[in-house]
Structure 1
């Protein structure tokens, strides 16, 4: 989004700037008040819990946005250190330590409000120069202080279409979200956290699946439209998640540009993006029970000046 040309489609889009004061750095997560936490809790019926985070640091690799480094996991101390005399045991006790080097957007994660900007302004009008050397404003540690807790709703678009996974570059429209919810018998309520399943990342872990990096990388998903941005704004959506790497159509059918929703939702409305969710087990349970609402809980790590944070969200039904 550093290229500020050709983005006239963002003129006049809905904005939450100033809604919670000129110093606000939290964004749409402000919608998730104590009342919304209790509303999420009321969606729980039997306490069944699903961890939505992907595995990190698999030897065969993890899915990442093209051009980003993967996870490098090193042992800082293990049994070999004691055998070689490089570590000293404390009595009969020994131990292992390790170190990880990874991008903060390299696995299941949330984007900080300051992750994307255009016209040299981040969420709530903060100057993009405040990102130099780390985010002085709109950093992910603000989300970590608050947490993201509310009523989540799974919209299983892949099952709704009757496919294992959406085709590369497939577009999901607002009408389809509504149709999917109606077919599932669930209502999308004010301040819900929509969670969209496309089947896209499941194929990454399936030996017989399509290679998501084959040819031109083009993920399926929602994309920019005036109607969609108005819907997010009117419904006061605090956050949304998907089982894709970027939560939206890689190249927008509507604008012809890469990932414009990051600008129209994250930057303009402060809507949190929860990317790369593992939704396979949750989707099976929802399909079997006919219950698609759950208590959504995510606690970003408090990386000071961070643009995002790995997270292992929980869906409690």
Structure 2
């Protein structure tokens, strides 16, 4: 057993534990390569978008977003609000013209609904990505690094790595980690390679587990990437990271840092994150086509001062 692993007393598999010193060393290594003002999405140059369009073979489209939920659940104590604002029921069936209208409200960064994290979402040691002062984020909104930076969309080559498929299980259990070795093994098994500017999507099976066993307190218990796997993302030049979970494991494997993958990915590398997607519609299509790469189109809402946005990413095979 390596020094970075600790086996619990209950006989469950060994779990990697990262010290604060190890995390700091990794943070400093990754900080040497950043994506500039627009973050890593700046790598999505026109030539990469054109190349990604060449991934389309079947002309099939599939959503990677989960339905927005409006009822409380253990992982969603503040669900999105939705109500019809007109017309009143007494008028709806009457003569003449009427319009049905709606009002929505949402906790964008909750643990159930699919969303995109902007570069201003993570504050660490008083700064945002690129050393931007944390004071640029206030109750009035973000004046720097908001989701408005990607108002023209994020378009590129999507690559789905299915870790439960690799391990022969329906999902990873909460608390389990995806390592860099897992990512490389999934590449080999699926005959695909993650490259510069890719939109990397890592399936841990969170959504399937939630569907089949019911919601749980995902804020305190969920599968995700191990922080050291972020070095793989940096080496390959990934532009965006998405998962059907939160991307971070809970409990955190890092001493004194609750969301180490968010810190390393968003704050340090300038990656855009997509949390709580769903891949249950996409996996069968990838298996049918025997392809795990595709054109991916992400269109966040135009929220000029927001730290994130609900999102409906589309895979086009």
Calculate the TM-score normalised by the size of structure 1. 0.85
Aligned to 2:130: 124
Aligned to 1:3: none
Unaligned ranges ≥5, structure 1? 1-5
- Work out which of the residue numbers 121, 139, 158 in structure 1 matches 2:146: 139
Alignment of 1:204-243 (within 5 A): 204-206=210-212, 209=213, 211-213=215-217, 217-225=220-228, 228-243=229-244
Aligned to 2:24: 10
Partner deviation per Cα, 1:85-140 (whole Å, 9 max, x = no partner): xxxx8x72211001011112242111010101211010111110111221111111
1:191 to partner: Cα distance = 2.1
Root mean square deviation of aligned Cα: 2.3
CA distance in 2 between partners of 1:56 and 1:231 (Å): 31
Matched residue SS, 1:274: strand
CA distance in 2 between partners of 1:81 and 1:99 (Å): 20
Alignment of 1:183-194 (within 5 A): 183-194=189-200
Aligned to 2:14: none
1:240 to partner: Cα distance = 1.0
1:143 to partner: Cα distance = 1.7
Partner deviation per Cα, 1:201-226 (whole Å, 9 max, x = no partner): 122223xx154328x8311111212x
Unaligned ranges ≥5, structure 2? 1-18
Is it true that 1:287 corresponds to 2:287 in the alignment?
yes
Alignment of 1:39-50 (within 5 A): 39-50=51-62
- Work out which of the residue numbers 198, 201, 209 in structure 2 matches 1:195: 201
Alignment of 1:254-269 (within 5 A): 254-255=254-255, 257-269=257-269
Aligned to 1:69: 78
CA contact (8 A) 1:16 1:124 kept: no
CA distance in 2 between partners of 1:74 and 1:257 (Å): 38
* C-alpha spacing 1:240/1:94, structure 2 compared with 1 (3 Å): same
CA contact (8 A) 1:113 1:267 kept: yes
CA distance in 1 between partners of 2:35 and 2:201 (Å): 25
CA contact (8 A) 2:118 2:147 kept: yes
Calculate the TM-score normalised by the size of structure 2. 0.85
CA contact (8 A) 1:10 1:264 kept: no
CA contact (8 A) 2:298 2:314 kept: yes
* C-alpha spacing 1:229/1:52, structure 2 compared with 1 (3 Å): closer
* C-alpha spacing 1:123/1:163, structure 2 compared with 1 (3 Å): same
Matched residue SS, 2:241: strand
Matched residue SS, 2:274: strand
1:63 to partner: Cα distance = 7.8
How many residue pairs are counted as aligned between the two chains?
293
Aligned to 1:104: 108
Matched residue SS, 1:37: helix
* C-alpha spacing 1:83/1:299, structure 2 compared with 1 (3 Å): closer
* C-alpha spacing 1:249/1:178, structure 2 compared with 1 (3 Å): same
Q: Moved runs in structure 1, 4+ residues, more than 4 A? A: 16-19, 60-64
